[in-house]
Structure 1
C-alpha cells in the first residue's frame, strides 16, 4: 500500500506539514504532491491518501488546492473505496471559518464516495504548538496497516 500525501497551501505551511507527515510515515511507501500538480485521475483506491490543507481568506480553500477540487467537481469520479485522512490548518482568531479549508476538502472527497478515517486534525496557529510537531504525532495515530519484515 502506498501513502499519497496531497497538500494545498497558500503560504507554504501545508507543504512543511506534509513533509513532516511523510517523515512520520517513512516506514511506508510515501509520496508527497502539491494538489495543484496532482491529477484527480491519479487517485487510486489502493492508496491511502492524506490531505494537508490550509484555510485561506474567509474560510476558503487555499489557492494551491483550488485546481484539484475544480477538477474533482468537473470529472465527478466515483471514489468509493478510497480512504483518506485530513490534517487541517487554520487560526481560531477567525472564529466560524477556523480550519474550514480542511473541512471543505473532506466534504468534497466524501461527496464523491471516499471514506474519511482517523481523527480530523485541526491545527490552530494561535497556539504555541508547532504544526509540524502536531502533524508527526497525528500521523502516528493513522489507521495504516503495519509493515512486517520477513
Structure 2
C-alpha cells in the first residue's frame, strides 16, 4: 500500500478541510494517507509521495505553520531525487502575480533539491470555485491513479 504524506499549509482552516477530504478519497483508492500541518524531511522519507496542499497568504507568502518544514527543505544539502511529490495550491486570482505563489515557491525549492514532481502543480482559484471540493474532485479524476 502506498503511503501518502499530505502536508498542509493553512491560514483559516479551509485547506486542512480539503486535505482531509482528499485523504478520504485516497483511502478509498487503497492509499494510506496521513494529513499533517507540520512535518520533517525524515518523515517525508518514510512516504511514497509527499502531497503539499497550501494556501497563499499575505503577498504570496507560505502559511506560517509549514514555514519551518519548507525552510528545512530549502536549507538541506540533501539531494531529494528519491522524493516524489505533488502540489495543490489555493489562491485568489485577484492578487495578480502573487496568485498561488506559495505553491510556486515550494515547487521551486523542491526542484532545486532535485525532488521528483510526479503530477503537474495544480492551482485552485478560490474566486472561480466557491466550492473547493469541485476542483479537488477534478484533480482526483485526473491524477489519483497516477500516484
Where does residue 34 of structure 2 map in the other structure? 31
In 2, Cα distance between equivalents of 1:133 and 1:25:
16
TM-score (norm. length: structure 1): 0.86
Provide structure 2 residue ranges, at least 5 long, that are not aligned to the other structure.
none
In 2, Cα distance between equivalents of 1:136 and 1:21:
8
Q: Please tell me the root mean square deviation across aligned C-alpha atoms, in Å.
A: 1.6
User: SS state of the match for residue 142, structure 2?
Assistant: coil
- Give the number of the structure whose residues are more often helix, by fraction: 2
1:91 maps to 2:92: yes
User: SS state of the match for residue 141, structure 1?
Assistant: helix
TM-score (norm. length: structure 2): 0.88
1:104 maps to 2:105: yes
The runs of at least 4 consecutive aligned structure 1 residues that moved more than 6 Å come to none
User: SS state of the match for residue 123, structure 1?
Assistant: strand
Provide structure 1 residue ranges, at least 5 long, that are not aligned to the other structure.
145-150
In 2, Cα distance between equivalents of 1:2 and 1:122:
23
Contact 2:55 2:63 (C-alpha < 8 Å) held by counterparts: yes
